[in-house]
């Protein structure tokens, strides 16, 4: 498949990342195509744009208007609505349409050292770990676990998206150390149903524990290596992981193998192509979801605007 990648916005780090990966893709029938008109599909690779939460620039883009039947979006918004058909990181089950959406991992991960320097076998310091901000009630429940075999740290005072220099590097080292030093990695949802930590744990070869009732698993991977814990059952995690402790290394190896096969830098562009091919097959993706221009659009964009305003106030304070 000939795939044309673009963005409707001036700032597009995920597009830049995917463009950089495409030439190094191994053994794939999909290729990066330079001309939209001749491509089999057009993919708008978009980050969350807080200055355009209703995606007006995308919806008014000339390529979308001209080639709507072959246009798709990669959308990593925490609270998405059905802008157009495509790859969504956090589409909740009650708004998911199998003919329009493919659950997808994040293209660009903050903790890059884990991806490029996978964990080696070593004696792990902790049975499980979690480092993260308190962006969802389930994370606060995790911090209430009292377990000497766990490393749990609240990092709400740190904003990875606006940090830079020595502070960013120090925090990245600490996070990497928590991953490779743990038999299991707790991967709770945040504002969105998904978590970048989940895919970082796969890259590190550590067994993930998924705590996200509404998370939809991307279809490319057999997720049997992961443990899933309902958000209301977080208090059972210490006993559960002790029961499964002797499986941690095997589960971690399976997680790493899944990462290498589908989401590694050498395979991610191929996985994108396979997912878009699914949506093209049998004219999938053409039916507009009923929430596209309905109440969900206004509710979600309004909620996201409120969250961003509060975040700016906290940074200013």
Q: What is the mean pLDDT of residues 18-28?
A: 95
Alpha helices in 31-181 (DSSP H): 56-59, 62-66, 112-116, 137-143, 165-180
Take residue 297 and report the two structure tokens written for it: 């659009």
pLDDT of residue 291: 46
Q: Which tens digits make up the pLDDT trace of 36-73?
A: 999 999 999 999 888 898 899 999 999 999 999 999 99
Take residue 189 and report the two structure tokens written for it: 């949802």
Residue with tokens 């389930």: 138
Q: Which tens digits make up the pLDDT trace of 102-136?
A: 999 999 987 765 666 565 555 589 999 999 999 99
Distance between alpha carbon 281 and the CA centroid of its chain, in Å? 24
Higher pLDDT, 51 or 165: 51
User: CA-to-CA distance for 314 and 133, rounded, in angstroms?
Assistant: 14
Query: What domains does the chain contain, in order, with CATH numbers?
Result: 2-107+267-316 (3.40.50), 112-263 (3.40.50.2000)
Which strands sit side by side in the sheet containing 182-188, from one edge to the other?
150-154, 126-132, 182-188, 207-211, 227-228
DSSP state of 78: S
CB atoms within 10 A of CB 154: 15
Per-residue pLDDT band for 264 (boundaries 50, 70, 90) equals: very high
Distance between alpha carbon 96 and the CA centroid of its chain, in Å? 16
Higher pLDDT, 174 or 1: 1
Cα Rg of the chain, angstroms: 20
Could you give the 3-state DSSP secondary structure of residue 117? coil
Contact 307, 111 (CB under 8 A): no
Q: Which tens digits make up the pLDDT trace of 178-197?
A: 998 999 999 999 999 999 99
Q: Which tens digits make up the pLDDT trace of 211-220?
A: 999 999 999 9
Which strands sit side by side in the sheet containing 101-103, from one edge to the other?
31-32, 2-6, 41-46, 71-75, 86-88, 101-103
Take residue 69 and report the two structure tokens written for it: 């039947």
User: CA-to-CA distance for 217 and 135, rounded, in angstroms?
Assistant: 21
Range 88-94 contact pairs with CB under 8 angstroms and sequence separation of 24 or more: 89/192, 89/194, 90/192, 90/193, 90/194, 90/215, 91/193, 91/216, 92/193, 92/214, 92/216, 93/214, 93/216
Mean model confidence pLDDT for the chain: 89
Residue with tokens 């221009």: 293
Distance between alpha carbon 166 and the CA centroid of its chain, in Å? 25
Contact 65, 51 (CB under 8 A): no
Give the predicted TM-score (pTM) of the model: 0.89
């Amino acid at each position: 498949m000939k795939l044309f990648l673009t963005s409707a916005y001036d700032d597009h780090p995920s597009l830049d990342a995917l463009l950089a990966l495409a030439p190094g893709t191994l053994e794939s029938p999909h290729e990066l195509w330079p001309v939209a008109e001749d491509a089999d599909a057009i993919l708008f690779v978009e980050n969350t744009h807080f200055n355009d939460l209703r995606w007006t620039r995308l919806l008014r883009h000339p390529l979308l208007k001209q080639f709507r039947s072959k246009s798709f979006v990669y959308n990593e918004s925490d609270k998405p609505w059905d802008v157009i058909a495509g790859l969504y990181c956090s589409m909740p089950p009650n708004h998911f349409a199998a003919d329009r959406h493919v659950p997808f991992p994040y293209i660009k991960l903050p903790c890059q050292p884990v991806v490029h320097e996978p964990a080696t076998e070593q004696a792990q310091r902790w049975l499980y770990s979690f480092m993260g901000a308190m962006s969802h009630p389930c994370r606060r429940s995790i911090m209430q676990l009292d377990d000497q075999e766990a490393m749990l740290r609240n990092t709400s005072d740190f904003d990875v998206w606006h940090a830079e220099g020595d502070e960013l590097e120090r925090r990245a080292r600490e996070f990497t150390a928590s991953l490779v030093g743990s038999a299991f990695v707790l991967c709770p949802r945040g504002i969105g149903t998904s978590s970048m930590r989940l895919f970082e744990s796969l890259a590190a070869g550590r067994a993930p524990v998924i705590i996200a009732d509404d998370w939809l698993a991307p279809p490319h991977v057999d997720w049997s290596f992961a443990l899933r814990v309902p958000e209301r059952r977080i208090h059972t995690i210490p006993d559960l992981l002790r029961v499964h402790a002797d499986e941690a290394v095997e589960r971690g190896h399976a997680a790493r193998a899944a990462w290498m096969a589908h989401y590694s830098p050498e395979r991610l562009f191929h996985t994108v192509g396979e997912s878009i091919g699914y949506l093209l097959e049998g004219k999938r993706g053409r039916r507009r979801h009923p929430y596209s221009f309905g109440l969900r659009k206004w509710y979600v964009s309004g909620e996201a605007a409120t969250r961003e305003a509060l975040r700016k106030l906290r940074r200013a304070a």
